[in-house]
Amino acid sequence: MAEVYLLKYMRKIFSAGLIILPVVAVIIFFSPEAMAFTVTPGRVEVTIPAGESYEGSFNVANPDSSAVEIKVSAEDWSSAKDVGKTAAGETPFLAWLEISPKVLKLGPSETGIINYKATLPKETKGELSAMIYFGTGPAPMGGSVSVVSRVGNALYVIAKGTEIVKGELIDIIISKTNPLKADVAVKNAGNVHVRPKGKLLIQKRGKKPVELSLNDAGFPVLPGQTYIFEAWSKKKISPGLYSCQLNMKFGEESFDKKFEFIVDAKGKASIKEEKGKAK
């Protein structure tokens, strides 16, 4: 599945140094009549020595009964330039990434190939990454509907032997109790993206524990970014004293934390006492 970030939120999110859970889909439609197309693979992750290149391709299919013109652009998410700072912005090309063709015309039920070549400069440490966008333009003048379809596919090229995987647990908040919702914020302090996974175990004395999964979908945390994972239960929790235990894997690191919180009669949760710390 493609990793797609809605463009209108991207610059706001990056400038704040914060990534909230992204919207993921194969195609972004701005009209019920928008034509569909698919691009595979949805994500590319490769590791090569710095100074070398990697060549690959995307397969584009138009299952629709109408012809489509697809334009390709890319947005640089590279950690090797400025960790934690705003990406360079969307552009038809990047210095380290060649794409050809940048415009692909497909007839009804036709397929095509878009090739790319990613080159890591010799001084690269960590990774170079980009979101490659495939989009159709507005409907021709005189058409009844202005249609735009778009898909974004992530590309990560890691410089072999230079990877630093390091994370920080920023905070855990019980933000809702009806139903139960926990927010876990983690920061990527390394130079390559990481897909952390974990769980929260919440228990009221004398009751069965509630287990909440974190990041089952495997969303990435980019270098220098803070990501807030949301975990929801299906039911509300009643007033009382609860224990909470976090276990999360961040690459080879582990975040383990225990604390207690109290839910009052109005359903507000507050931390009672910390029993451990992240490590």
Kind and range of the H or E run holding 44: strand 43-48
Per-residue pLDDT at 82 exceeds 60: no
Which distant-in-sequence residues (6+ apart) come within 8 Å of 176 by Cβ?
Answer: none
Torsion sign (Cα): 100, 105, 109, 110:
negative
Q: Which domain holds residue 24?
A: 7-159
Reported as a single tens digit per residue, the pLDDT across 161-208 is 999 999 999 999 999 999 999 999 999 999 999 999 999 999 998 899
Which pLDDT value is given to residue 36? 77
Tell me the per-residue pLDDT of 245-263, one tens digit each, with 9 for 90 and over. Answer: 999 999 989 999 999 999 9
For residue 90, what pLDDT is reported?
A: 72
Q: What strand order describes the sheet that includes 269-274?
A: 210-214, 197-204, 240-250, 253-263, 269-274
Given 115, 134, 159, the domain boundary residue is 159
Query: Is 55 a residue whose pLDDT tops 90?
Result: yes
* Domain termination residue (choose one: 159, 182, 210): 159
- Domain boundary among the residues 138, 159, 180 is at 159
Predicted local confidence at residue 138, as pLDDT: 57
CB-side neighbour CA atoms (13 Å) of 211 = 6
Count of domains for the chain:
2
Q: Decide if 70 contacts 106 (C-beta within 8 A).
A: yes
Q: pTM for this structure?
A: 0.78
**Based on the domain organization, do 96 and 114 belong to the same domain?**
yes
Q: What 3-state DSSP class applies to 87?
A: coil
2 assigned to some structural domain: no
Q: Do 152 and 52 reside in the same domain of the chain?
A: yes
Q: Is residue 114 scored above 80 in pLDDT?
A: yes
The pLDDT value recorded for residue 80 is 43
Cis peptide before 22 (omega within 30 of 0): no
Same domain, 22 and 70: yes
Q: Can you tell me the mean pLDDT for 100-122?
A: 96
Question: Both 42 and 107 in a single domain?
Answer: yes
